Protein backbone atom coordinates (compact mmCIF):
# COMPACT_ATOMS: atom_id res chain seq x y z
CA UNK A 1 0.00 0.00 0.00
CA UNK A 2 2.96 2.29 0.59
CA UNK A 3 3.54 2.58 -3.16
CA UNK A 4 0.16 4.30 -3.42
CA UNK A 5 1.12 6.87 -0.80
CA UNK A 6 2.65 9.02 -3.55
CA UNK A 7 -0.46 10.83 -4.71
CA UNK A 8 -0.42 8.87 -7.97
CA UNK A 9 -3.19 6.71 -9.38
CA UNK A 10 -1.57 3.41 -10.31
CA UNK A 11 -2.74 0.16 -11.84
CA UNK A 12 -1.85 -3.34 -10.64
CA UNK A 13 0.75 -3.85 -13.40
CA UNK A 14 2.70 -0.69 -12.51
CA UNK A 15 2.51 -1.47 -8.80
CA UNK A 16 3.65 -5.07 -9.35
CA UNK A 17 6.61 -3.92 -11.43
CA UNK A 18 7.72 -1.51 -8.69
CA UNK A 19 7.45 -3.95 -5.80
CA UNK A 20 8.63 -7.12 -7.60
CA UNK A 21 5.37 -9.02 -7.14
CA UNK A 22 3.14 -10.72 -9.70
CA UNK A 23 0.32 -8.59 -11.11
CA UNK A 24 -2.33 -11.11 -10.03
CA UNK A 25 -1.04 -11.04 -6.45
CA UNK A 26 -1.16 -7.24 -6.43
CA UNK A 27 -4.63 -7.18 -7.99
CA UNK A 28 -5.98 -9.58 -5.35
CA UNK A 29 -4.44 -7.54 -2.55
CA UNK A 30 -5.86 -4.31 -3.96
CA UNK A 31 -9.34 -5.83 -3.93
CA UNK A 32 -8.91 -6.74 -0.26
CA UNK A 33 -7.61 -3.26 0.61
CA UNK A 34 -10.52 -1.74 -1.29
CA UNK A 35 -13.03 -3.88 0.63
CA UNK A 36 -11.64 -2.44 3.87
CA UNK A 37 -11.68 1.13 2.57
CA UNK A 38 -7.91 1.56 2.55
CA UNK A 39 -7.69 2.19 -1.20
CA UNK A 40 -10.23 3.25 -3.79
CA UNK A 41 -10.56 2.97 -7.53
CA UNK A 42 -11.45 6.42 -8.89
CA UNK A 43 -11.47 5.00 -12.42
CA UNK A 44 -11.41 1.43 -13.68
CA UNK A 45 -8.00 -0.18 -13.42
CA UNK A 46 -6.42 2.53 -11.25
CA UNK A 47 -6.12 2.79 -7.49
CA UNK A 48 -5.21 5.43 -4.95
CA UNK A 49 -4.87 5.44 -1.20
CA UNK A 50 -7.76 6.77 0.88
CA UNK A 51 -7.59 8.95 3.96
CA UNK A 52 -8.27 5.81 6.00
CA UNK A 53 -5.32 4.12 4.27
CA UNK A 54 -3.07 7.06 5.08
CA UNK A 55 -4.15 6.83 8.73
CA UNK A 56 -3.21 3.15 8.72
CA UNK A 57 0.24 3.85 7.27
CA UNK A 58 0.97 6.53 9.87
CA UNK A 59 -0.09 4.21 12.69
CA UNK A 60 -3.18 6.24 13.57
CA UNK A 61 -5.55 3.40 12.67
CA UNK A 62 -5.63 -0.16 13.98
CA UNK A 63 -6.65 -2.43 11.09
CA UNK A 64 -8.02 -4.95 13.56
CA UNK A 65 -10.95 -2.57 14.07
CA UNK A 66 -11.91 -2.53 10.37
CA UNK A 67 -14.73 -4.51 8.80
CA UNK A 68 -14.92 -5.27 5.08
CA UNK A 69 -17.71 -3.80 2.96
CA UNK A 70 -20.69 -6.07 2.48
CA UNK A 71 -20.37 -5.94 -1.34
Note the pLDDT of residue 1: 73
What residues does 46 pair with on adjacent strands?
A: 43
pLDDT at residue number 34: 95
Full pLDDT tens readout for the chain, 71 residues: 788 888 888 999 999 999 999 999 999 999 999 999 999 999 999 999 999 999 999 999 988 888 888 65
Residue 6 lies in a domain: yes
Residue 71 lies inside a defined structural domain of this protein: no
Residue 55 inside a domain? The answer is yes
Residues 45, 8: Cα–Cα separation, whole Å: 13
Domain limits at 51? Answer: 2-62
Task: Classify residue 70: in a domain, yes or no.
Answer: no
pLDDT of residue 7: 83
Entry field: residues in the chain = 71
Quote the pLDDT of residue 5.
Answer: 85
Degrees to nearest 5, angle at CA 40 with 35 and 41: 115
Q: Which domain CATH number covers 57?
A: 1.10.10
Number of domains in the chain: 1
Tell me if 67 is assigned to some domain: no
Say what the pTM is: 0.86
Amino acid sequence: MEVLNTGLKLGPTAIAKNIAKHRVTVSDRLQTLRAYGLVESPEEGYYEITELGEQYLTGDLDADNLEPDAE
